[in-house]
Amino acid sequence: MNKSTTRAEQKELTRRTIIDAAFRLLSADQSYANLSLREVTREAGIAPTSFYRHFKDMDALGLTLVDEAGLTLRQLMRQARARIEEGGGSVVRTSVTTFMEFVETNGNEFRLLLRERSGTSKSFRLAVQRELQHFVEELSDYIEARTGANHVTAYYEADALVTLVFNAGADALDLSPSKRILLADKVVQQLRYVAKGSESLRNHKC
């Protein structure tokens, strides 16, 4: 039993090592499409043949990276909303700040989502679309609960907000910290305009 558990833990550790190695290899100049299996296994410190014990092929690894990047960001945004519920503060400002921190500290993960959103692989494009859809649905539920908006209105507002923030992230990647702050301020105002417009439509039932 102990040996079996140890083997299972070792397998998961190696799988994690491969995932982390692939993320480290991504950069502004290196896309996932250009990564080779040998580069990843060399970075992970394992034999190329060992790779196939954990992933069917490089596409399977890439889809896992997309899922992990999206999940990491969603968890950060959930934590941000939880902090707001507990201690107050601006929902918009806190959310944008959290997102910009993610782009700054997890640039490789965000680059992956950004590139594969419009990449040549249909499976990758769909995977990123699913991640964005998760964001929209979670934010839509939050808006609906917080404002009393109907589901359709909340969904449209959430979709607009996610699109604005995601596109801003693409600009933020190559900015200095000071310029990223200015961009964040601009995005906060844009999001508030969207929220105000949505509120106005709800109140006037246009």
Per-residue pLDDT reduced to its tens digit, 28-82: 899 999 999 999 999 999 999 999 999 999 999 999 999 999 999 999 988 888 8
**Given this model, what pLDDT does residue 83 score?**
81
Q: Please say if the pLDDT value at position 3 is more than 80.
A: no
Is residue 113 within 8 Å of residue 131, measured between CB atoms? yes
Higher pLDDT: 144 or 1? It is: 144
Please, what CATH class does the domain formed by 1-55 belong to?
A: mainly alpha
Helices 122-147 + 151-172 axis angle, to 10: 120
**Given this model, what pLDDT does residue 61 score?**
97
**Given this model, what pLDDT does residue 199 score?**
82
Q: Tell me the whole-structure pTM to 2 decimals.
A: 0.86
The CA-atom distances, in angstroms, between 156 and each of 63, 91, 162, 185, 202 are 27, 18, 10, 23, 12
Q: Please say if the pLDDT value at position 168 is more than 80.
A: yes
> Going by C-beta distance under 8 Å and a sequence separation of 6 or more, which residues neighbour residue 41?
18, 21, 47, 48, 50, 51
Q: CA 202, CA 206: separation in Å to the nearest integer?
A: 7
**Given this model, what pLDDT does residue 205 score?**
59
CA-closest candidate to residue 183, choices 124, 77, 99, 60? 99
Tens digit of each residue's pLDDT (9 = 90 or more) over 113-166: 999 998 889 999 999 999 999 999 999 998 999 888 889 999 999 999 999 999
Q: Please say if the pLDDT value at position 1 is more than 50.
A: no
Please, what CATH class does the domain formed by 57-204 belong to?
A: mainly alpha
**Given this model, what pLDDT does residue 5 score?**
63
Please report where in the chains the tokens 């939050």 appear, as a residue: 142
For the chain, where do the domains classified as CATH 1.10.357.10 start and end?
57-204
For the chain, where do the domains classified as CATH 1.10.10.60 start and end?
1-55
Let me know the angle formed at the C-alpha of 132 by 87 and 198, rounded to the nearest 5 degrees: 60
Q: Please say if the pLDDT value at position 95 is more than 70.
A: yes
Query: 198 falls in which pLDDT band (50, 70, 90)?
Result: confident
